[in-house]
Amino acid sequence: MEYFELNNGVKVPALGFGTYQMPSSITEENVSKAIELGYRSIDTAQNYGNEAEVGQAVNNSDVPRDQLFITSKTQTSGYRSTLRGIDESLQSAKLDYLDLMIIHWPTIDNSGTYKALEDAYKAGKLRAIGVSNFNSNKLQSLINHAEVKPMVDQVETHIYWQQKKLHKFLNENNILHESWAPLGEGMSPVLSDPEIVKIAKKYQKSTAQVILRFLTQQHIMVIPKSTNPAHIAENLDVFDFKLTDDDLATISNLDQGHSDVNWPSSMGQEAY
Ligand code: NAD
């Protein structure tokens, strides 16, 4: 596993396990399997309805809690409901703290919502805080009023939507770029792109592995999801090879500069 460092010094695994649309009935089993295989970072959300099962897998694991990095996301707007929501997440997952809590999408009261994250961070309930689906304008206005600088922005990022402008803004502000849908949610043709197929053959890796390696080599944290045991193992096995500068350039040129899902609309290219 490779690690990145957040702007508060906390270390975060470059690759984690996503759980979006993972039914709660199979989440504990899949997260336990992932941890057994070597995943050390798990991404859940209040909105996914599986925080409790992620917590069960964490608490049942032989891996010490301080070696795991658990992320959740708010689904509230405003100070009080968000503070309450954080406590409910901790109670539901039966965890003393979360490693990262992010605002899932911009709300009508971003500053109040973020203030709750700051206070929970100061109280030791969260080791890091940040946002998701924030464009650079929204993030800049949050930073202007924040006491604690956000540490992460989790946004749709894959080879056809590389977020180059936002990536530059995040780097300049020392905020980690985290990708959701690194594999195009399994619906986009990213995994069968002919250039990726060619590169994958050269390294004797799968196209998913090449894509995950490309993103992590750009200093982008990834959280691919799968419930297929072979894919769960395959997606983790990406740190024994390195793409050359030529291959990185080829993949960089595959960027189409727009979202696959067009959600949320505030993430449109013109907002950068
Ligand atoms: P993903 O890009 O990780 O794609 C997952 C799908 O790709 C799987 O369902 C499967 O169909 C396919 N797949 C996975 N591994 C494969 C492999 N090795 N070979 C072939 N196919 C493979 O999409 P995602 O789950 O939407 O995104 C990853 C995680 O990001 C989510 O699980 C969730 O935790 C997070 N997320 C966050 C937001 C947000 O708004 N912050 C939105 C979406 C997802």
* Full pLDDT tens readout for the chain, 272 residues: 999 999 999 999 999 999 999 999 999 999 999 999 999 999 999 999 999 999 999 999 999 999 999 999 999 999 999 999 999 999 999 999 999 999 999 999 999 999 999 999 999 999 999 999 999 999 999 999 999 999 999 999 999 999 999 999 999 999 999 999 999 998 889 999 999 999 999 999 999 999 999 999 999 999 999 999 999 999 999 999 999 999 999 999 999 998 888 889 888 866 66
Tell me if 138 sits within 8 A of 103, measured CB to CB.
no
Model pLDDT for residues 42-95, shown as the tens digit of each residue: 999 999 999 999 999 999 999 999 999 999 999 999 999 999 999 999 999 999
Look at domain 3-255 and name its CATH class.
alpha beta
CA–centroid distance, residue 260 to ligand 1 (Å): 13
8-state DSSP, 46? G
Using CA atoms, how far apart are residues 109 and 94, in angstroms rounded to an integer?
28
0.85 exceeded by pTM: yes
272 lines ligand 1 (CB under 6 A): no
pLDDT at 269: 66
Phi, psi of 213 (to 5 degrees): -70, -40
CA–centroid distance, residue 144 to ligand 1 (Å): 32
Using CA atoms, how far apart are residues 202 and 182, in angstroms rounded to an integer?
21
180 lines ligand 1 (CB under 6 A): yes
132 lines ligand 1 (CB under 6 A): yes
Residue nearest to atom 21 of ligand 1 (CA): 186
CA–centroid distance, residue 3 to ligand 1 (Å): 20
133 lines ligand 1 (CB under 6 A): yes
